[in-house]
Structures are given as structure tokens and as C-alpha cells.
Structure 1
Amino acid sequence: MKQSVSAIFICGEKVLFMKRQNYLRAFPGYTSFPGGKVDKEDILEGGDNYLEYALKREIKEELNIDLDDLQLSGHIIDIAKYSLAVTPDFNPHRFENYYFKIFIKDEAHLEDIKFEFDQGEIAYTKWFNCHEAFESYKQGQMLVVPPMITILEDLDRDIASLDFLDANLKYDSKKCVPMIEPLFGLRQYMPLSNTFPPANRTNCFVLGDDGHKKIIIDPSPKNSDEYEKLLNSIGEHDISEVFLTHHHPDHHEYSRRLAKELGISFSMSKGTYDHLLEDFDKDYFNEFDVKFYQDGDIVVKSCGVDVKLITTGGHAFGQSSLYRVDGAWMIVSDLIQTVGTVTIGGKGSCMREYFQSLQNVIDIDPQVIMPSHGICLGGTLKIKKTLEHRLEREEQVRKCVSEGKEIEEIFKEIYPDLPERLKSYAMATITSHLEKLRDFGPGIC
């Protein structure tokens, strides 16, 4: 397993945090600490102390400061190994990350240290009072990986402690599904689901403040065993509604069983409801109360802030996104994915609506977006790149049409190396582009 190191700089009651750039491939827009991977050279050169060696090298590369020099000059009074977090087993890219506390003597010595941050990776840095940092997270304003939550809470408890902290995500994989809370108040459960590869999980969010209405969004475990794990996992919450973002099976499998077992109602857009009745039968929801939300309706509160429905059709007619109205975040369902690609084609899909939905989210500009498959992302860069790519693809299709090519020729031109098993999805997307061009013309319209 790969290893990495992180530096927690401490001066009095303050801690140095950095926000990663939104365009990075790994954890874009997340709040973290300086650090990086342990290299082979670190192990060779550092010997038994290779972790400390790697830490000093990373800090020199990222911040242009020499920890040895700062210790000799008395600016730094201690460097202590503080915590370990191992990437959970459900993540294919696993690391052992070691956290070190680095204590700066006082404010006067801090002023002498010239941190030079790599702006290619770091959007900005900030010295937070440890209590203020934890409160910022609790207001849903700080996007973090799971170990950071444990660390923030521990720093708030006793910033000077040298006790070793176990920051690992704790769950029993035999009884529960994984759950993380990258933004406070937004609990992201990750049951295995019957979704489209390479994704194998559909994010199931529990949303709503304690003591107020809570909803569960898109519960869709792949089988009975996974259903029981999800049920065990959400038992602490007093949930009153199952909210469905759209009608595709990997967003509602086992949802009726869950609603019946918990004795709760359904909520969704009217479009999602109509498509579900078409896909199954008119009696699909006969046992349940169903509430319809329209665009702009308030669905729930998170951290005391209203969360409203935004219609983001295109992938599926009536698909709904949920937006915290202060701009902190937006659950965008299958508007994009960070694992795999969204298909636009088939019943309920519309390329024109998809373009409009992408542009609408870009205009709203939430600080964080949360797809149904994959991790949360800082900013809307992924949305912008998706729209750019789709417009480029449309131009390729338009050019092929102007040259008199039929759909099979268009497929060979645009997707020359696509595996045969994915051809039907590509053909559906091409068809959707052709329909848009025929009925509405090119571009966002």
C-alpha cells in the first residue's frame, strides 16, 4: 500500500489549512494540509526515519521552507507524529497517510517564516483558530475527507496534545455500508448498486437537520444483503421521506421496501413519478403517500439553511437536483459523474434539456457539487468541461451530417476505438444529438 505524509502547522491556537484547486484530479476543492506521497528515494535516503524524511522533502517542495533549519533556529519547537488514516477498503486507490504536528514557537517566530505555496495546487491558505475551523465544517462550509473530521474535532478538544490519534473511518463492512460526511449535514451512504460500470455504487444521501424533517435520497442497494446493510446504517436517523431524483432503476431499487419497512412516504417530481408508472405499472405507489415537488420548492433544511429543488432534466425527464440556497452545495444526481460517463439517449432523455441543465448549474455556481456516482467536487469545473465536451461532440455530429454520413458512419468517425459492449450507448447519444440538431439547431438553445 502506498504511503503519504501531511503536516499540521500549529501556532498557539491556530492551525494552517489549505484549499486545493478545483481543477485538480485528486480531491478538487477540498480543505487539507500540506504534504504528499512517500517516494522510493525517501525510503532509501531516510532509512528508519523515512516518513520524517519524506515530510521534510514535501514541505521544502510545497512551501519552500526547511524544517531542519527552522528547528535549529528555534522557530519550530517540536515535530511529532500525530495520527494515521488508512484509505477504506471500498476505495480502489488506497494510502496510509501519516499526520505530523509541527509546533511553531509563537506569533513573532511565525512572522519570520516565509511560506511560498504552489498556486498550481493550492487555491489559498488560511490560519484558522482550531475552534473556528471545526465550526466552519459544522456549518457545511468546508469540504473534507473523512480523517479531517476526526482531526478537526480532536484539535478543537486539545490542540497541544501529543496523544496518537486513530483517524480511520470506522464501520463494520459485514453489517453496514460505508458512510462519509464530506460536508457537515450531508451524510453520503454508499451501497453497492446495479449501476452502469465502471461505477458500482449509487450515493444515497440522508439530508435534514436533527429535530426537523429528514429525507433519504435515492436508496438503491443491489440486493437483499446490501439492503439490510443500508437499513442498519441509517437506523440512527428519524427519516420521514424517500426522495427520488429520477426514474432510473439504480436510483430507486428497494426504495419501496425501505419506505414500507420504515412507514414513510415518497417525494419526487411529477415527471419522475409518471416515468416510474410507465416503467412498472400504475399501482407502483398504491401503498404509499407521494408528495410532488416543483422547481423552486423548499424540500428540507440543512445547517438551518433551506434546500430547494432545481430541475435538471436531460439525462432523465424530470430529474431533480437539490441546492442549498446559500450556495454551499448542490446534489446534481446524474447530471455528471466522477466515475464513468452520463448517457443521454433513450426514453426521457433530451440533449437540448441536458445542455440547458448544465448551463443552469454553471450559472447558479454552487461551491460544491455532489453527483450520484463518485466523490464530491469543489466548484463547477466538471460541469463546464462536460458542457464543452458535449458541444464539441455535437459539432462533430453536425459536420458528419453535412458530409452526408449515416448514423453508422458517424459512430465509426466519432468513436473509432470504442468497445463493442458500449456501442448501443454511443448510438443512443448520437441519436439524441441528431434529434436536437434537427429540431433546435446547434448550441445551447
Structure 2
Amino acid sequence: MADLPTGLPIRLEPLVTRILAPNPSPYTHTGTQTHIVGDRDVAVIDPGPDDPAHLAAILAAIDDRPVRAIVITHHHRDHSPASRPLAAATGVPIVGATPFAAASDVGRSDASFDHAYAPDSVLAEGDTVGGDGWTLTALATPGHTSNHLCFALAETQALFSGDHVMGWATSVVSPPDGDMGAYMASLERLLERDDRVYYPGHGEAVENPRRLVRGMLGHRRQREGQILRLLREDAREIGAMVGRMYAGLDPRLVPAAERSVLAHLYDLGRRGLVIGEGETWRIAA
């Protein structure tokens, strides 16, 4: 991971430039990818962590071109914190995913949240941000987070998929903010589209997006089937299920696997298929 160039602008196509932030980890892969969209004027999608070197790299890539907006797919700490110093440096608004109102924060505390995220304008389904020869249209894709947005670039049939669809692994879905039912519905929605390429927040560009999305749906359904088979054998706690389901998993990723299994259990519970009793889950009678 450390061998990939951070801070270097890479032209992916005439309207899209990518800059990799220096924040590799088991959860971010090689790091967060910031995308600059446009030619004569630009938007910056997910400026990433509040890292001075990464901010300097973004500003150098912008190269004094007018910035129309700083666009945020969701409120995680590896995606949105640099929006604030970038806004201060450019004087342009932060737009995109909705923040949490104070009343809705109860029970949603999460170490991965950027609690200071405060956009100047919230974008909803179908809202657009545009410039000279480019338009970004918001697509609501909740699941990884409740406020996740993807952004479609109509001019080139590209989709900036944030963490909803990544180029290296499936997303962590961590309740209560993450919701497996919503995540699956959002994947189904993408399957109906004809996007040419996805530019994710982590990992390489996805050149055959519908095939990947079909595979992701199948993978999640396979996990659901594993859970149901294990619970038909016996009532179990999540840790025991993860031990059976994720053989050889990097120990650093066990907490993420446990959160995703919990998300599946909540979804199965809503559908009347399983019941949670304290830390133990069983098949519904």
C-alpha cells in the first residue's frame, strides 16, 4: 500500500483527476481517493482527511481554477474533514450528504464519524452541481451510512460511488447508522443503471460496474444464507458466527465483520426470520 503515490494528481479521463490521500489502513485500503471533476472550473469530491500535505496536493491540482463546490458523499472521517480547510482556502461552499441533527445523534455515536461535518447546502436525490461542461447529479444510496450519496457525471456516464461500491472490498455496514436492507436496495438500484465506470473512494476504477454490483449482491445473500444455516443448527452469539463465517480473516477486521453480521441480523429480524435475545440470536419459530 505504501508504494502507491500519494499527493500525485492522476488523470483518469479528461474531466476526472484522482489524488490519493496518505491514510492507508485495513479499512481504507491504499487511502481515500479525492476526485477533481471538471476542466476550466472544477468540483472536489471527498477531499478526505484533514491532512496538510493532502490539502496542499488538492490545491496544487486545482491550480487556481475556479472551484464551484466541495462535494461530500458521506460523513466519515476519511472523507469529509478536509472540506473545512479547503473551503477556507477557496471560499466555496461544502455541499452533499446531510449531517446529523443533534436530536438524532443519540445511539449513533461512532468513532468513524466526522462529527464536525456541516455542509453549507444539503443535496437530495436528483439535485445537481455543475460547471463548464460537467454536471454532477446526486443519487441517494443509503446503507453504508444513512446519508450516503453517489454522484453521476452525465457527460461521461461515470459514477462517483464513494464507499457504497469500492474497488477493493465490500463496504462495512455498521448499525445503527448502517442498514443492510437499505444497502441491498441501493445496490439493486445501481444495477438498474447504465453507468460506464465507477470511481470509488477506495480502490481502482470499476470498469464493469454492473458485473461487480451483481457479485456484491450475491456475496451479501451468501452471507445471509450462512447466518441462517448457522442459526438453524443452534442459537449463537455474533462472535461465534464470525469465527465460522470468516475463516482466516485479518484479526484487525474482526470488529468490522461483527458489525456487518449484526446488520444482517437486524435485517433478518425485521423480516421475521430471526430473533435476538440479549447477545444470542436464534431462528424465529
Which band: TM-score by shorter chain?
0.7 to 0.9
Contact 1:207-1:300 within 8 A present in 2 as well? no
Q: Distance in 1 between matches of 2:150 and 2:93?
A: 19
Offset, 1:338: 1.9
Aligned to 2:281: none
Write out aligned runs for 1:69-88 (5 A). Answer: none
Gapped runs of 5+ residues in structure 1? 1-88, 92-172
Aligned to 1:376: 205
Please state whether the residue corresponding to 2:263 is helix, strand or coil: helix
CA 1:441–1:251 in structure 2 vs 1: closer, same or farther (change >3 Å)? Answer: farther
Q: Distance in 1 between matches of 2:217 and 2:198?
A: 15
Q: Distance in 2 between matches of 1:296 and 1:241?
A: 16
Once the two structures are superposed, residues 307-344 of structure 1 have per-residue CA deviations (whole angstroms, 9 ceiling, x without a partner) of 31101111111101011336721111111222344211
Contact 2:127-2:138 within 8 A present in 1 as well? yes
Structure 2 counterpart of 1:251, from 63, 75, 79: 79
CA 1:312–1:198 in structure 2 vs 1: closer, same or farther (change >3 Å)? Answer: closer
1:333 matches 2:162: yes
TM-score of the superposed pair, with normalisation by structure 2 = 0.81
1:210 matches 2:40: yes
Please state whether the residue corresponding to 2:145 is helix, strand or coil: coil
Contact 1:332-1:372 within 8 A present in 2 as well? yes
Which residue identity lines up with residue 267 of structure 2 in the other structure? K
Contact 1:333-1:372 within 8 A present in 2 as well? yes
Q: Distance in 2 between matches of 1:368 and 1:226?
A: 25
Aligned to 1:421: 252
1:398 matches 2:228: yes
Which residue identity lines up with residue 348 of structure 1 in the other structure? D
Gapped runs of 5+ residues in structure 2? 106-112, 274-285
Which residue identity lines up with residue 221 of structure 2 in the other structure? L
Offset, 1:217: 0.8
Contact 1:315-1:350 within 8 A present in 2 as well? yes
Contact 1:336-1:342 within 8 A present in 2 as well? yes
Aligned to 1:439: 270
Write out aligned runs for 1:125-204 (5 A). Answer: 177-193=7-23, 196-197=26-27, 199-204=29-34
CA 1:314–1:247 in structure 2 vs 1: closer, same or farther (change >3 Å)? Answer: same
Please state whether the residue corresponding to 1:377 is helix, strand or coil: coil
Q: Distance in 2 between matches of 1:327 and 1:401?
A: 46
Q: Distance in 1 between matches of 2:114 and 2:61?
A: 28
Q: Distance in 1 between matches of 2:66 and 2:23?
A: 24
Root-mean-square deviation (CA, aligned residues, Å) is 2.6
1:323 matches 2:152: yes
Where relative contact order (Cα < 8 A, 6+ residues apart) is larger, the structure is: 2
Q: Distance in 1 between matches of 2:65 and 2:155?
A: 25
Contact 1:218-1:243 within 8 A present in 2 as well? yes
1:364 matches 2:193: yes
Please state whether the residue corresponding to 1:361 is helix, strand or coil: helix
Alignment coverage as a number of residue pairs: 261
Offset, 1:205: 1.1
Which residue identity lines up with residue 265 of structure 2 in the other structure? L
Contact 1:193-1:222 within 8 A present in 2 as well? no
CA 1:329–1:280 in structure 2 vs 1: closer, same or farther (change >3 Å)? Answer: closer
Q: Distance in 1 between matches of 2:168 and 2:50?
A: 17
Q: Distance in 1 between matches of 2:249 and 2:19?
A: 32
CA 1:324–1:232 in structure 2 vs 1: closer, same or farther (change >3 Å)? Answer: closer
Q: Distance in 2 between matches of 1:361 and 1:433?
A: 20
Which residue identity lines up with residue 251 of structure 2 in the other structure? E
Which residue identity lines up with residue 372 of structure 1 in the other structure? G
Q: Distance in 1 between matches of 2:86 and 2:154?
A: 29
Aligned to 1:228: 56
Q: Distance in 1 between matches of 2:87 and 2:127?
A: 22
1:348 matches 2:262: no
Once the two structures are superposed, residues 385-422 of structure 1 have per-residue CA deviations (whole angstroms, 9 ceiling, x without a partner) of 11111111111112222222312321222113223222
Which residue identity lines up with residue 215 of structure 2 in the other structure? K
Once the two structures are superposed, residues 180-225 of structure 1 have per-residue CA deviations (whole angstroms, 9 ceiling, x without a partner) of 22222112222223654461321111123525xx321111146323
Please state whether the residue corresponding to 1:364 is helix, strand or coil: coil
Q: Distance in 2 between matches of 1:311 and 1:336?
A: 13
1:265 matches 2:93: yes
Aligned to 2:66: 238
Contact 1:208-1:300 within 8 A present in 2 as well? no
Please state whether the residue corresponding to 2:224 is helix, strand or coil: helix
TM-score of the superposed pair, with normalisation by structure 1 = 0.54
Offset, 1:280: 6.0
Mean Cα deviation higher: 433-442 or 367-376: 433-442
Which residue identity lines up with residue 354 of structure 1 in the other structure? Y
Contact 1:314-1:357 within 8 A present in 2 as well? yes
Contact 1:365-1:379 within 8 A present in 2 as well? no
Q: Distance in 2 between matches of 1:243 and 1:305?
A: 14
Once the two structures are superposed, residues 229-257 of structure 1 have per-residue CA deviations (whole angstroms, 9 ceiling, x without a partner) of 33223233211321110011000132211
Q: Distance in 1 between matches of 2:251 and 2:134?
A: 47
Please state whether the residue corresponding to 2:212 is helix, strand or coil: helix
Identity value in percent: 22
CA 1:221–1:198 in structure 2 vs 1: closer, same or farther (change >3 Å)? Answer: closer
Larger Rg: 1
